Chains A and B, each alone.
Chain A
Amino acid sequence: MSGRSNKTQERLLSLISPVALLALWQVLLMLGFGDRRFIPTPSDIAVQFWQMTVSGELGWHVAVTLYRAFAGFVIGVVPGITIGLLMAMFRPVRIFFDPLIAALFPIPKIALMPLLLLAFGFGDASKIALVAIAVFFPLIVNTYVGAANIEKIYWDVAKNYGASQSVMFRRIVFFGALPMIFAGLRIALAVSFIVLVASEFVATKSGIGYLIWNSWELLRVDVMFVGIVTVGIIGLIISAIFQEIERKVIPWKAE
């Protein structure tokens, strides 16, 4: 049997479990197990999804959530990477930030939401700040670990060949840490959606989190499922994009 048809078979096999689950769900409800007002069938959800897409309502919520996620991501990631690299290069920077990170990293970031509402109000700013804080920590830790574990020979070569601190930073430490930075970005992506959707449950009138919470309060369970499915799809798409970027940016990572 050739490798390719084997691959195809495996791909088909991997589709069976989700499809079977959806089919079972649909059939059981159509047979009258469970109340369709509280548990919609997959087909009900699909119809609702389509209607909300066409009306533009879903697109609006998605756009708002993506904007908050993206803005918070950028604001948190850039200093996270920079400080992580500086910690690896300079001992005083490490000693300065170490206790701060040790103390703040374990706090569930969603616990900061009331504080951020006080500081930034009920608009986008508080959600963006929450995402920024939540992604900052995995990035700083991963970047530092990646940069601190760069093989000694690269430092030696750079030094022997006359690299300045700035060249060391931009051409050696950053690239040496890049695989770990990407691992950090993947963690940050997951964390950012967790805190963002949770924060949108309260104190806002837009975003997918709001859509889910609001439909729960109105007992529109089908709409609620549309929100959940949408978050899942966004997560899938973004992590596929990440993987593609990683392949482009880290071509030396063994194929």
Chain B
Amino acid sequence: MPEVAERRGAAIEIAKLCKEYISGEERTVALTDIDLRIRPGEFLCIVGPSGCGKSTLLRILAGLDRQTSGTIEVNARGWAVQNAMVFQESGLFPWMRVETNVGFGLMTRGVLAAEAAARVDAALKLVGLTKFRRHYPHQLSGGMRQRTAIARAFVTDPAMLLMDEPFAALDAQNRVILQAELVRLWEQTGKTVIYITHSIEEALLLGDRMVVMTAHPGRIKQIIDVPYARPRNLMTLSASAEFGALKLDIWRVLEEEVMRARAEAEG
């Protein structure tokens, strides 16, 4: 049994959130009427077709974008850092060594060198990259780069972890390994995780709940409680018949929406 953290991550309450982009005469509604409560320490997956605004939602949560209307309340009491984001293409700075990349969020926040070094050591150990600490990102494989990005996020000890399709660019084997590592880290640290993916399977494997979004405009279609107990064995779970059936049900919901949106766009 992995040890389960006492401390619970951020609670998030999103109410009536809308996001519009205006360019010239054109007005695009990226998100509309998003209402969502995320529980402390929850692993929440967001699934939806491209254009459903899931990345926009994550960027707003990360403070990289601003909503047009609506509110977000984050309760991260007891945590020094509210959020850290893991980007799809790692976003490691090519001019920094692995250890410098990992320590970036500590340097920016003025954490003392000795403490920062110890925390970077621990984070590198956690993701198994201690040997590669002096490497530059271009000397690493794709999987190692994503591990570095995850270490960079965890080292700041954020109350919530925002992940934007972090493993989408990896091969299947690496993805499974990193998924399992991520779940292990999450169980140990109690952080709230918001994980964006376009894969229903990934959302079912990893999440406590999954939010299904639809496009044009981006809105929440359905919220599903993932019925699997933890700890989960990702390999056997994904191979079970019951898993396949649930996946298919959700796919039908999405497919219908994708077709409807397409028909509207053409009509």
Task: Please state if B95 and A167 are interface contacts (CB–CB under 8 Å).
Answer: no
**Contacting chain B: which of A3-11, A157-165, A198-206?**
A157-165
**B138 in the interface, Cβ–Cβ < 8 Å?**
yes
Give chain A interface residues in 131-187, CB to chain B under 8 Å.
Answer: 153-154, 156-164, 167, 171-172, 175-176, 178
> Taking CB as reference atom, which chain B residue is nearest A157?
B91
B161 to chain A, nearest CB (A): 12
**A161 close to B93 (CB less than 8 A):** no
Complex Cα spacing A172 to B93, Å: 8
Interface of A is mostly: helix
Flag the segment in B8-16, B81-89, B235-243, B254-262 that touches A: B81-89
Cβ–Cβ contact B64 & A160, under 8 A = yes
Q: Does B156 contact A (CB under 8 A)?
A: yes
* Residue in chain A with minimal CB distance to B149: A157
In the complex where A167-B107, A175-B95, A178-B95 touch, is A161 in contact with B84 (Cβ < 8 A)?
yes
Give 12 CB contacts A-B under 8 Å. A156-B59, A158-B108, A160-B62, A160-B63, A161-B84, A162-B105, A164-B108, A176-B95, A250-B95, A251-B136, A252-B136, A252-B138
Known interface pairs A251-B136, A252-B137. Does A157 touch B108 (Cβ–Cβ under 8 Å)?
Answer: no
Quick check: is A19 within 8 A (CB to CB) of the other chain? no
Minimum C-beta distance from B14 to chain A (A): 18
A161 near B105 with CB under 8 A, answer: yes
Selected from A156, A164, A175, A250, the residue in CB contact (under 8 A) with B91 is: A156
Interface of chain B residues 101 through 121 with chain A (CB within 8 A): 104-105, 107-109
Is B78 in contact with chain A by the CB < 8 A criterion?
Answer: no
Task: Give CA–CA (A172, B94) in the complex, Å.
Answer: 10
Question: Using an 8 Å CB-CB cutoff, how does the interface string of A233-255 with B read, 1 for contact, 0 for none?
Answer: 00000000000000000111010
Check B85–A252 contact: CB distance below 8 A: no
Question: In the bound complex, how far is the Cα of B95 from the Cα of A250, in angstroms?
Answer: 7
Name the A residues within 8 Å of B89 (CB-CB): 153
Q: Check B84–A160 contact: CB distance below 8 A.
A: yes
B95 touches A252 (CB 8 A): yes
Answer whether A161 and B104 are a contact pair too, CB < 8 Å, given A153-B89, A156-B87: yes
B108: contacting residue among A162, A176, A250, CB under 8 A: A162
Query: Judging by beta carbons under 8 Å apart, are A167 and B108 in contact?
Result: yes
Most buried by B among A160, A167, A176, A178: A160
Which chain B residue shows the least CB distance to A254? B138
Do the beta carbons of B87 and A157 come within 8 Å of each other? yes
Residue of A nearest to B83 (CB): A160
Is A160's CB under 8 angstroms from B85's CB?
yes
Given A167-B108, A172-B93, A176-B95, 9 other A-B residues pairs in contact with their CB atoms under 8 A: A154-B93, A157-B85, A160-B85, A162-B81, A163-B104, A167-B107, A171-B107, A175-B96, A252-B95
Interface string of B49-78 (1 = CB under 8 A from A): 000000000010011100000000000000
Asked whether, in the complex, the Cβ of A161 is within 8 Å of the Cβ of B64, the reply is no
In whole angstroms, how far apart are the Cα atoms of A172 and B64 in the complex?
Answer: 17
Please state if A153 and B87 are interface contacts (CB–CB under 8 Å).
Answer: yes
Within 8 A of B (CB), among A181-197: none
- Nearest CB in chain A: distance from B179 CB, A: 22
Asked whether, in the complex, the Cβ of A161 is within 8 Å of the Cβ of B108, the reply is: yes
Complex CA–CA separation, A160 to B108 (angstroms): 10
**Complex contact B108–A153 (CB within 8 A):** no
A154 to B152, CA, bound (A): 14
Q: Known: A161-B156, A167-B107. Contact between A252 and B84, CB under 8 A?
A: no
Given known pairs A154-B93, A172-B93, A252-B94, the reply for A163 and B64 (CB within 8 Å) is no
Q: Which residues of B contact A164 (CB under 8 A)?
A: 108
CA distance A131 to B85 in the complex (A): 46
B81: chain A residues at CB < 8 Å are: 162
Bound-complex Cα distance A175 to B89 (A): 19
| Bound CA span A154–B104, Å | 12
Interfacial chain A residues near B95, Cβ < 8 Å: 175-176, 178, 250, 252
Question: Which residue of B91, B105, B107 contacts A153 across the interface (Cβ within 8 Å)?
Answer: B91
Task: Return B82 CB to nearest CB of chain A, in Å.
Answer: 10
Bound complex: CA A172 to CA B152 (Å): 16
Bound CA span A163–B156, Å: 13
Q: Closest chain A residue to B88 by CB distance?
A: A153
CB distance from B101 to the nearest CB of A (A): 9
A159 to B66, CA, bound (A): 14
Shortest A85–chain B CB gap in Å is 15
